[in-house]
Structure 1
């Protein structure tokens, strides 16, 4: 795996922290974030869009990333595009 660190929540302390990587080999963005609370998880689980069944498949997860990390996410997108993601 060619995992490349892009950035971490700038307001993090020494506790758990949302983080962004780019996996150049798999051609994916990799995100670490906070688990949703029960209300948000239920809302996401019930959400449906055309062509997509409601619910979160067991092999997927919903995570939360703070808005202050938007510049880091943009950087990850730019880095991924530069490597042909």
Structure 2
């Protein structure tokens, strides 16, 4: 992502965020708030996705183990 694109997106995000929070700030402060917020939000989102991915893997492992136990009890332990 280019620096210019980051500045434009940061300025827009900062403008929206400052208006939502009812903060009056100059253009430079708004841009800095937007860029810093984008970086912080991106970091938090990545951490949440990694944690969710690990949790999903854990749930998948449990379901896989339950399926194998069912198959073992149904087809092998029948004797």
Q: TM-score, normalised by structure 1?
A: 0.24
Q: Which has the larger radius of gyration?
A: 2
Higher relative contact order (CA 8 A, sep 6+): 1
Higher-strand-fraction structure: 1
Q: TM-score, normalised by structure 2?
A: 0.25
Higher-helix-fraction structure: 2
